[in-house]
Amino acid sequence: MDRYITLIDKLKKERALSAKEWAVLIKNRSPKLSEYLFSLAREEQERCYGKDIFLRGLIEFSNYCKNDCLYCGIRRSNRAARRYRLDEDTILSCCHEGYGLGFRTFVLQSGEDAAFTEARLANLVRRIRKDFPDCAITLSAGEWSKASYRTFFDAGANRYLLRHETRNDSHYSMLHPPSLSAKKRRQCLWNLKDIGYQVGTGFMIGTPYQTPELLAEDMIFLKELNPQMVGIGPFIPHRDTPFKNEPAGTLELTLFLLGCIRLMLPKVLLPATTALGTIHPEGRELGILAGANVVMPNLSPKSVRGDYLLYDNKICTGEESAQCRDCLEKRINAIGYRTVTARGDSLNL
């Protein structure tokens, strides 16, 4: 136990561990160790961001996807998914509604939908930028060439979310079709950084074949990339995917890694994800108490919310945008934090 406490102290002091140390720490975690980790993580969080929790309005604008990731409910081969694509006017009106609710960051997320060409997506960004000069625009729309990423940036996008999913090349190929590679994914992230985006990456906890050694590689990659945001959440099986019978990732390990990430990258923006709220009724609150400082209530129109299903039992599919916002605010206040609608740029710029 003391040996592992020492590793946590080292992580806090040096903001890094070796791959070996990460694997040892992850394997030997315990409730006592987590408690200690979370108290240090909260200290760091408070030192950097006080009791502020940032709200981002999430608009899931298309669930068409040309990819076929084995874990994902909107993968191309899932014929059972009801597909939708929001038009530009609808997306703009989601932003207007969100602005009225106080949001100053819009996160536009979709599958890799071929109908949203580079020109069309850039135009959309331009229209949002024109209507909301004071807001941050975050894209989360998969892999593109560096030139396309630059076009979106020039159109007014500020941030980009693209999870690396797993740092290990062979693990990546167990979760994805042969057309996708870990190397290409990482190159996209370096390109985004180079262009000047605030970049978010991340991975799922408890994916099939994941081991502490593989998680160690993920932690080391996070340190190397030094992103402004890190999104992690439990893997949750989706009934119409090849991983339907695989067990979900646990709350316990997800919280542990949230705490570790807060200690390693103290200034990072770290969401308590919807997936975390899905595997446990207080998952998001527990995430905040382990070091997370962002929540992303859904701004998608109610008519399509139940169709953006990456995994089973997703929460908040029946609520209005205002309901989700109020619900989260109450939950956050109840644990002694406050929601902030400011743009909330990372301190890690």
- Interface with ligand 5AD (CB under 6 A): 71-72, 163, 165, 204, 233, 235-236, 238, 275, 310-311
Please list the helix, strand and coil fractions of the chain in percent, rounded to the nearest 5, in that order. 45, 15, 40
Closer residue to ligand 5AD (CB): 72 or 180: 72
| Residues 98-117 interacting with ligand FES (rule: CB under 6 A) | none
As given in the structure block, the two tokens for residue 263 are 């200690």
In this structure, the number of other CB atoms found within 10 A of the CB of residue 206 comes to 20
Tallying the residues shown for the chain, one arrives at 349
Closer residue to ligand FES (CB): 283 or 291: 283
Binding partner at 173 among ligand 5AD, ligand FES, none, C-beta below 5 to 8 Å by kind: none
**Separation of CA 314 from chain center:** 15
Binding partner at 328 among ligand 5AD, ligand FES, none, C-beta below 5 to 8 Å by kind: ligand FES
Closer residue to ligand FES (CB): 168 or 321: 321
As given in the structure block, the two tokens for residue 186 are 């990482």
- In the bound complex, what is the minimum distance in angstroms from residue 169's beta carbon to ligand FES? 36
Beta bridge partners of 58: 107, 298
If phi over 0 gives left and psi between -120 and 50 gives alpha, with beta otherwise, what is residue 113? beta
Binding partner at 275 among ligand 5AD, ligand FES, none, C-beta below 5 to 8 Å by kind: ligand 5AD
Q: Hey, which bits of the chain come out as E strands? A: 52-55, 57-62, 105-110, 136-140, 159-161, 198-205, 229-234, 294-295, 338-340
- In the bound complex, what is the minimum distance in angstroms from residue 12's beta carbon to ligand 5AD? 27
Element (H, E) at 231: strand 229-234
| Residues 324-343 interacting with ligand FES (rule: CB under 6 A) | 324, 327-328
Backbone angles phi, psi at 204, to 5 degrees: -95, 150
Q: Is 317 in the site for ligand FES (CB under 6 A)?
A: no
Considering only the stretches 28-36, 84-92, 305-313, 318-326, report the one whose residues sit in contact with ligand FES under the rule CB under 6 A.
318-326
Binding partner at 324 among ligand 5AD, ligand FES, none, C-beta below 5 to 8 Å by kind: ligand FES
Considering only the stretches 51-59, 62-70, 303-311, 323-331, report the one whose residues sit in contact with ligand FES under the rule CB under 6 A.
323-331
Using CB under 6 A, list all residues that contact ligand FES: 297, 316, 319, 323-324, 327-328
